[in-house]
Structure formats: structure tokens, C-alpha cells
Structure 1
Amino acid sequence: MSALQQLIDAGRTLVDAGLSPGSSGNLSVRDGDRILMTGTGTSLGALDASSMATLDASGAHLGGATASKEVPLHLATYARDAAFQAIVHVHSPYAVAASCLAPWSDESAIPPLTPYVLMRVGQVPLLPFAAPGDPALGALVTACPHPFRGALLANHGAVVAAEDLPTAVGAAIELEEACRIALLTAGAERTLIAPEHVRAIADRWGMPWTGSYGAASIDAAVPARS
């Protein structure tokens, strides 16, 4: 399947899943030594060839639509891992809501409540606020000391990277669900997955998890069922 068709299909999937209201969000995929990225102001549910910008590896515009203002965010995320070939950035409601709260720990904004986010994303650090489109977003991605495939952008949304676009889309959907569950259980005496199980699941699926239970977390003292 062509990179263009992958982007079109991914955009429709994200809109159908409720992760991309209005013209929010942007996608990109590596295509050889170039990057194909959704254009500014486009609806992810109505993408076509005219909606796409072609960039070189440095982000310079080579043709097509005007690229989304989030080029620095995408470039910095690609630079974190040569295996990343596709990026999804969405302003999905539960991810945005979770990004407005204090993070559960330094390494992950959301706690390990279900195995599925551990299987698809791993830890999800919360990056400090920068205005949408500000090159500072790229700098914040670069400066993050924790490995990640998905991160929350404070008061903004989520960014997820993967080896291909379908995997990135699936991970973004799973992250949204994890944020929803975290918000639904916030303030309750939650039972977390035990640390040894968290690491075993993340390791088995090749996802990053470098932290443990945050000492300041209200969940830290709650025993987990194994």
C-alpha cells in the first residue's frame, strides 16, 4: 500500500474512533528519504492527494500542500529512534484531559491500570507545555530523558510513533482508552498492575518502561492483585 493510501486510511480510522475532532491532529510517514505529512487545516477524515505535503528529512518543503505547523514535533520524534517510520498526533478528548493533570510519575503520565497500554505503548511521559506549532515542542521531545513511543503534550494532546502507520494508529487508540480509564478511576483507591508484571509485559512486547511506582503517587501504597 502506498504511503498516501496509508495516511488516508489512518485519518479515517482516527476520525471514526473519535480521536480527531474537526481539523485537529496531523499524521506523517517516512517514504524513502522523504516524509509525507498531512497539510495544515485538513480534516483527517477527508484526506486525499491534495491534502499532503512532501518534506525532506530536514523538514524542508518539497511539494504539495503546506505542511502542518507541527513539523518540529514530528522531526524531533523521528530523531529519537531510527525505527520510527510513522507518527500520529491527535487532540483526542481523554488524552487532552489527562494532559491537563499532574502526571502519575516522572516517567508516565498515566498509571499501569490495564495490560493493553503496556503492550501497545509502554510508559507515557508528560512533556511540558509549549504552544502548538512552536519549535519548542520539538526541543521538549528531544530533551525528554525517558524513552517513549507515546507521550502526552501538556494541555494539548498526544503524540505516538511506531514502525508503521497502522501500528501507530492502534497505539494512539489504545492510549486514548488508557487515558479514559485513568480519568474514570482518578481519586479512587485503584489497584495497579504489580511492578513485576508491568515490566514483564512491557519487555515481552518491546515497549519502554523504565520507571516504577512513583513515591508521591496516591496509588503507590495500594497493593496490586497479581
Structure 2
Amino acid sequence: MMGDTALREQICLLAKSMFDRGLTGGSTGNISARTADGGLLVSPTGTSFGRLDPGRLSHFDTAGRLIDGDPPTKEMPLHAAFYDTRSSARAVVHLHSCHAVAWSMMPEVDPDNFLPPLTPYAIMKLGRVKLLPFFRPGDPAMGQAVRGLAGKRSAVMLANHGPVVAGKDVEAACNAIEELEDTARLAMLMRGVDARMLSSEQIMDLVSHFDVEWEG
């Protein structure tokens, strides 16, 4: 398992990569990851993904106490909800990515299956994405809504706000949330077009072949 120093550097490297490509701007977005000893590293409140300092990440011990670093993101209840309900979650990332937010406002979106089946990759990396209603940023009710899913989803979309994805490690979580944004962008591009989407049979073949969490 990755050591603390390497994990800190990886968090900052991947966050900067997403910032540099416009996936989240200003001081938006937050990211966290489990340390080897079961603690947690979290991006601090009010920080930019483009300028995270590995030495100033919020560091929590296994009891959830802040032991060093700056104060954490106000979205901590959202991160905690994924860690507490999904045993496989070792990292959580939340962005304000433009196309995912735009797609969340469209009236035809299925709240139980946010992304249309346009490509195999979102299905493989995310399973079904749950669209949650709008919450005030930082509202603990967001975490309660995720807990209400009982660990059955690795990804949610906060309406008019942004996506949140849990993964087996930081790289997996970042790759998955980028796939979510790419698929939402395709959905916006295809809106109003009679696009040929994947069939139910093709979707279930992917779910079976890649052992995708799909029910719930």
C-alpha cells in the first residue's frame, strides 16, 4: 500500500491535473483518501485543486480526529458517508464539472440512472449513478442522503452542484469521475438527437462481464 508521503503527492498531482483541464475551478472541489494506517487525508477548506500543498492536507487519525494540517473541506459529511457505508471506498473526489452540472438540470434525466448508456466506460467504471436533489453546499443532509443509499452506489450527482465518486484508490476515483463528466458532455452533445444508445442486452453483458454493481 502507498506510503503517506507518496499518497499526499498523488492527491495533489491528480487534483492539479483535473484543475488544469478545467474539470473544477477556483477553490471548488474536494478530495480525500485513506492512509495505510486507516486515517484520512483531505483537501483543506477554501483551497484550489491547482495549488494543493502535500504538507498542508488535513490529516485525520482512525478515530476521526484532525491531527495535523489545515482545517478540512466543509463537505466532510459527504466524504464520511461514503467511507462509512462502502467498505471498498479508499478515496472520494467531488468536482464542480460543467457538463455533469448542466446534465443534472435537464428534465429528462432519470434520477435513479443519471447517465444515459452512450458508451461502455461509464457503466464499467461507475455503475448506475444516483441523482440527488439540490442541497445547500456544506449541508450535512447531503451526507445523510448518501447514507440512505446504504453503500449501493459508488457515485452520486448532486443536482445543480457536482458529482461525487468513491473508488478503491485515488487514481480509480479520479478516473471514474472524469468518465462521468465525459459521458455527461456526450449526453449534452446528443441532446435532441435520436442517438443509437447501448441496448439493454449490451448493458447487461457489460455488467456481467466486468462484474459491475448495477442493482440497488
TM (norm. structure 1) is: 0.87
Closer/same/farther in 2, CA of residues 193 and 200 from structure 1, 3 Å limit: same
Matched with 1:155 is 160
1:22 aligns with 2:26: yes
Letter in 2 for 1:64: G
Q: Distance in 1 between matches of 2:151 and 2:141?
A: 18
Q: Contact 2:82/2:151 (CA < 8 Å) preserved in 1? A: no
Matched with 1:218 is none
Q: Contact 1:127/1:144 (CA < 8 Å) preserved in 2? A: no
Identity score, percent: 37
Closer/same/farther in 2, CA of residues 73 and 19 from structure 1, 3 Å limit: same
Match of 1:68 among 68, 73, 79: 73
Q: Distance in 2 between matches of 1:110 and 1:187?
A: 15
* DSSP-derived class of the 1:69 partner: coil
Q: Contact 1:102/1:109 (CA < 8 Å) preserved in 2? A: no
1:12 aligns with 2:42: no
TM (norm. structure 2) is: 0.90
Closer/same/farther in 2, CA of residues 203 and 56 from structure 1, 3 Å limit: farther
Q: Residue deviations 1:87-120, cap 9 Å, x none?
A: 1100010111122234632421121111111121
Matched with 1:187 is 192
Match of 1:136 among 121, 141, 156: 141
Q: Residue deviations 1:40-98, cap 9 Å, x none?
A: 11111111134310123464322210100000000001122111100110001011112
Closer/same/farther in 2, CA of residues 13 and 207 from structure 1, 3 Å limit: farther
1:36 aligns with 2:41: yes
Q: Residue deviations 1:140-180, cap 9 Å, x none?
A: 11113682222110110000111010111111111100000
Q: Compute the RMSD of aligned alpha carbons.
A: 1.8
Q: Which runs of 5+ in 2 are unaligned?
A: none
* DSSP-derived class of the 2:33 partner: strand
Question: How many residue pairs end up in the alignment?
Answer: 211
* TM-fit CA distance, 1:199: 1.7
Q: Residue deviations 1:171-205, cap 9 Å, x none?
A: 11111000001111122223220112112213322
Closer/same/farther in 2, CA of residues 59 and 19 from structure 1, 3 Å limit: farther
Matched with 2:122 is 117
* DSSP-derived class of the 2:41 partner: strand
Letter in 2 for 1:17: R
120-129 or 142-151, larger mean C-alpha shift: 142-151
Q: Distance in 1 between matches of 2:42 and 2:29?
A: 11
Q: Distance in 2 between matches of 1:206 and 1:45?
A: 35
Letter in 1 for 2:204: R
